Structure 1
Amino acid sequence: MMIVESGICSRALVVACALFASAPARAQTADVPQPWISYAQLAGRQFQAWLEADGDTADRLHRHLEDRVLHASADAPPPAIVVRAWIGASGAVTRVEFATLGDPNADAALRQLLTAGPLAEPPPPDMRQPLRVRLRLTPNPDAPVAASGAAAAAP
């Protein structure tokens, strides 16, 4: 499985995208065509930017995720969110699926952020879909001190 980590933001937590370009789960990176790998990296950077953008929707999602980390047991790692995304020939994210975040408003915010605009490029025509994206929460070392309480709660 090919994993790509990305991003830092100014919030207490970083939502890092790790993704895999829709080949069978047991496939090795060497088996994944290079255009798929490049596209997965591009999509990961774009998703990261959308999730870290300023705005009410991103703020609502981040508040929910930070609260989720604060209320997790001390020995549990922050939960990952696995998103399956379908991307149209124009680059538009046409559909996303993920397990509920436990709050319909947070679910709607994540869905809205990931489908709000097209990706910078369309996917390779032969790329299998859906694109699987794993979102991980990690403490942001650059977060302001006032917001670091949520980050400190994350292991």
Structure 2
Amino acid sequence: MSSGRILIVDPIRSGGIVPEGVKKNLIDYLDGYSTCLYCTGDLHSIRRPNIKKLVEELETFIDCSKVRLVHGAREGIFTVMFALYKEYVLKNEKAPVVVADGNAHYTSLLAAERSMLEVVLTKTTDYPEFKVVPEDFEEKIELVKKNYGKPPLLALITYPDG
């Protein structure tokens, strides 16, 4: 870019690689307008940039019946936890507990707290590897079953990127 300006795209791919198809589709989002200016309250219906089309194409691409966008990873993990809480904990089918590895990101812990869930952390190895200890996951899950009479709502393993 000759102006010295840089556009940073945070792709969901290892190594920070932005596929060619994504680069081409980014053009729709580079004309200087704010998505917020055209929002009528439903992110999924915005046509400028054409988020509505993006959602429809994404449903086809990943072969699912419904795609819901969220405001980022933090909101996404909360959405999952709270939906599971309403579906299973309120019906008394699962314990209100998340068993998470000791590398859990603070956003996962906040999402659990917002969803009224207890977090039980498992052991990890020390620096420099911080490996998850599978046997401790098993022990913690069994402990939750013993204490609550039912399995934990969720087992959460942290992706190495956070």
- With the length of structure 2 as denominator, give the TM-score of the two structures: 0.20
| Larger strand proportion of the pair | 1
| Larger helix proportion of the pair | 2
Larger Rg: 2
- With the length of structure 1 as denominator, give the TM-score of the two structures: 0.21
Greater relative contact order: 1 or 2 (C-alpha under 8 angstroms, separation 6 or more)?
1
